Amino acid sequence: MSAVAHRAGPDRPMRTGRGRRSSPTTWRWGDRLALAFAWIAGIGLCAIAAGIVLYMGYRGIEYLRPSLIFQRPALSTTQSGSGGFLDPLLGTALLTVIGILLAVPPAVGSALWLAEYGRPTWLARAVESSIEIVAGTPDIVIALFGLSIFQLSLFAPFSFTASGGGVFGKSFIAAGAMMSLIALPPLFTATRDGLQAVPAHMREAAFALGKTRIATIRRVLLPSVRSNIATGVTLGVSRIIGDTAIVVLLLGETLRLDQQGSVPGLNVLRGTGSTLTSYVYGNSPAGEGGAPQKAYAAAFVLMVLVLALNLLVDRIGRSQGDASGLTAAGAVV
Amino acid sequence: MGKRLRDPWSDHRAERTLGAVSLTVGVVVVAMVVFVGIHAWPIFRHNGLSWVGPGGSLETEIANMGSTSVHPPPSAYQLRAWPLVYGTLLSTGIAVGLGLVISVFSSIFIVELAPARLRKVAIPVIRLLASVPSVIYGLIGILVLVPFVGNDLISSSQKASVQNVVELTGAGLAVTVVILTVMITPIMIALICEALVSVPSSWREGAIALGLNPLRAVLAVTVRAARPAIVAAAVLATARALGEAIMISMVSGSRSFAPKPIDGLVFLFEPLRTLASAIVDYHEGVSAPALGSALYAFAFLLLFSAFVLSVAGYLIKLPLRKYQVRG
Amino acid sequence: MNRIRRLSVAFAVAGVLGVAAPAAASALTTISISGATASYPLVSLLAQKYVKTHPKKVKFKIAQGGAQVGINDVAAGRVTIGDVSRDPLSSDPAGLVFYPIARYAICVVTNKANALSNLTQGQLTSIFTGKTRSWSASLTGATATGTIDVISRQQGAGVLSSFQTLLLEGKKVPGTFPEKISEGQLKQAVESDPVSIGYLSNYQSEKGGVNVVAVGGVACNKADAISGQYPGVARFYEVTKGRATGAALAFIGWIEKSAAARKIISTQWLPIT
């Protein structure tokens, strides 16, 4: 947000004329209240953020032991026997990989098509609107949609079929496919903004050399938006690991990774499992409720991951040179 | 065919391929509307549009739906989901209202008032708040805020005053709205800050030259010019708040109850349930056809609201375009 | 992206999958189960033991959701077996076969700080049907004051149905009370609310953390339940669509007949006879 950083503030105060600043003591009461409120709002927000991070950190340090990260969860009637959250951690990783892999082709492809071709115009607008709609759809609706699709017998190979003929519909493939919808909008926005920012002369130079459009895309444009795509991917990853609704509805919520079938690799994808988010939800009073300590520990790990991803976005943005603020590549959108 | 693929592609083929890839998203959106609509249809067929209206006890109706198995009788589809719609409107409305005010003033703070050091801190802070997963907000809510409200804020006389109608446990409207506001404010601040910054400072300086004090100048000129962005922010925040399911399911008390403002202060402590949190709460029963249809009907309503919001946001911004400030 | 990078990405992905997938299993039959939260701990332990004693034969997928979800799922063919914690009702779909496997006691519980020791049948019914709304001295030993926070289960819960039949003289718990969707949640709610009262299976109440209330002078524990004195004893059933066949039949038969299963049941629950 470099533009914001150079705005007025006490180092470049709102001056009225040379050297004289309008002091709030001369203002009307309403304006003074508004000023106070602005300060309180701003500082309050920072305080809340600090509070959340510090509290999660405090609880996390209180309850997190390294053994929890490397131990598999176990069914047990007591807390001490119920193991750690290795499987949920792996589930998070696996789901993220699937989601991103499925999201990259449509996102980058659509961004390229929109930026470089984009005819006919009604189609371009339709594509943009569709992505906007997907971005605005609640994740719980996307989860229900995924359930309705993957419980069709057409998609039975993607999950487990019960002996009575009912398709379970919940598996890593199902959840991963819906997660790709979650990651698609930030990835698309990042790539499209990057492509639009590529100066026209780069394209013109390539055309002058006789390159076709597609060759220009492959050799000139894509490499130059690499960091945008990286930012988009990181944002997508951050949204995927934080999503709970899709996991609760579509991943089968088994404590451990539960394979389905006998083809190695595919059996994990067809199987069920859990992620850090569903583990936190399940261990909180909203789930079985028995283990707030485990919930805090897992939530702490989740927070650390999210913070790390945030830093990564920052780092990529900075190396890109023209970081344009909070909404860079749809950071918050 | 491998050689054909490896030959340099023509622009024509590339355009077709990329266009097809772009269409997949459109296909997914259409599929979403179709599939959710198909599963929701039985509810519409049996109740018409009045299923969003009041009447009867929602919890009895849902219990009925849950207990009918493979071939439910038509009466099982009876649904009057007004408490859920009301809960959604109430929590979203209050949160967005509060959030807008807080965001505008926070943005003014960040852009105009904050010392440079604090401003550098504020940006990562806002981004952090925006990326905290909702389950963590829910965890802090249910383990810290709900016991605090339940044990320390609600007096036993307040509890007794409504004890024949509903139980106050601390999980309710107040905690829901507070956390929801904290969740949606960063989104709005990001957009509003960008817009405030892009308003030419000469406009503000002109106002100051005319005698307005600096804060008033900001409010009267810069904020007014950033109205398209504020509208966009409000639309985005409303969409986020509408769709929030997990956090609300954890802290709202999960009762299909419509909080009554007449109850005075107790109104803030009454439990509620929203459309999205109802889907999470009842999702295990989705295999019962009647209950499943009801859940899909809720989802359809949410989908429809998301559509309406985008269109409304676009329409509201149209007349504001003349200010030519990026929104 | 050159070839080396492409290969290393492929390896990374395969690595994640490889770490996550223990040695490939041969084709196992999967028995899927869903239903009551009250019998979930028991059925999980039984399934664990069954897999240990019958290696490489079956896999279990156990979900919860409440007894009614179990009934619906098994009737729709979505699962092989349904866990149910109440007796069959007339509203249950036709064609389901109920196999009783164990019994459990339903205990009335309050917060640990509330020393309520005994409730008569009349007092119990009056509290849970919403007639008595405040703690008073007439409730023996109650140290709580103010409103009684009754915490109940959701409509589809087998424990609720059994509780109403056995301990509330058939009357229903009104909808004004919070409905928790699992035993764990109900216990959590009672533990955190000093003026609350609820009901749990004896497995949950004996875990500690709550005050167990006697009904009609009879304490709620295994001894009094086995002796038949405690009125609130219900059954766990395994439910299948039609008579059980194949792997499901083998599992249910093992539960009913084997010594190992009987040992597991008698740790926290009551045998079926």
Query: How far apart (Å, rounded) are the C-alpha atoms in residues B113 and B119?
Result: 9
B220 in contact with chain A, both atoms CB, cutoff 8 A: no
In terms of Cβ atoms closer than 10 Å to its own Cβ (0-12, 13-18, 19+), residue A71 is: middle
- For the segment B152-192, what is each residue's pLDDT rounded down to a tens digit? 888 877 877 777 777 788 888 999 999 999 999 998 998 89
Tell me the two tokens of residue A243: 């999503």
Tell me the two tokens of residue B181: 């506001």
Identify the chains in contact with A, defined as 3+ C-beta pairs within 8 A: B, C
Interchain pair A166, C20: CB under 8 A: no
- For the segment A51-78, what is each residue's pLDDT rounded down to a tens digit? 999 999 999 888 888 888 888 887 665 5
Q: Do B213 and B101 form a contact (C-beta atoms < 8 A)? A: no
A154 contacts: CB under 8 Å, gap ≥ 6 = none
Which of the listed ranges A41-45, A77-81, B153-157 does the model predict with the highest average pLDDT? A41-45
Report residue A333's pLDDT band, with 50, 70 and 90 as the boundaries: very low
Q: Do A256 and A152 form a contact (C-beta atoms < 8 A)? A: no
Best residue in C90, C135, C176 for a mutation probing chain B (most B CBs within 10 Å):
C176
Query: How far apart (Å, rounded) are the C-alpha atoms in residues C225 and C216?
Result: 13
- Start-to-end Cα distance in chain A: 15
Distance from CA of B213 to the nearest CA of A (A): 7
Paired sense of beta strands C196-201 and C149-150, if any: parallel
SS3 of C43-90: the string is HHHHHHHHHHHCCCCEEEEEEEECHHHHHHHHHCCCCCEEEECCCCCC
- Start-to-end Cα distance in chain B: 48
C153 in contact with chain A, both atoms CB, cutoff 8 A: no
Query: How far apart (Å, rounded) are the C-alpha atoms in residues A32 and A25?
Result: 8
Q: Do B180 and B248 form a contact (C-beta atoms < 8 A)? A: yes
Q: Report the residue from C65, C149, C179 with minimal CB separation from B285.
A: C65
Positive or negative torsion for Cα B186, B187, B188, B189? positive
Report residue A239's pLDDT band, with 50, 70 and 90 as the boundaries: very high
pLDDT of residue A2: 46
Query: How far apart (Å, rounded) are the C-alpha atoms in residues B239 and C207?
Result: 43
Chain C residues in contact with A265 (beta carbon < 8 A): 14, 17-18, 21
Mean pLDDT score of chain A, rounded to an integer?
Answer: 83
Distance from CA of A224 to the nearest CA of C (A): 13
In this model, does residue C165 exceed pLDDT 50?
yes
* DSSP character at residue C173: P
Which has more pLDDT, C19 or A87? Answer: A87
- For the segment A131-176, what is each residue's pLDDT rounded down to a tens digit? 988 998 999 999 999 999 998 888 888 887 776 677 888 889 999 9
ipTM value? 0.89
Which amino acid belongs to residue A106?
P
Query: How far apart (Å, rounded) are the C-alpha atoms in residues B68 and C106?
Result: 26
Which has more pLDDT, A272 or B38? Answer: B38
Q: Do A238 and A232 form a contact (C-beta atoms < 8 A)? A: no
User: Residue C153: beta bridge partners?
Assistant: C180
Residue in the block written with tokens 């093992």: C254
Single out the residue of B15, B225, B193, B236 nearest to residue B104, CA to CA.
B193
Helix axis angle, B173-198 to B227-243, nearest 10°: 150
B30 contacts: CB under 8 Å, gap ≥ 6 = none
Residue of B nearest to A298 (CA): B136
Interchain pair C63, A253: CB under 8 A: yes
Number of residues that make up chain C: 273
Q: Report the residue from A41, A238, A292 with minimal CB separation from B109.
A: A41
pLDDT of residue A289: 61
Chain C residues in contact with B59 (beta carbon < 8 A): 155, 175, 179
* DSSP character at residue B31: H
pTM comes to 0.86
Q: Do B74 and B153 form a contact (C-beta atoms < 8 A)? A: no
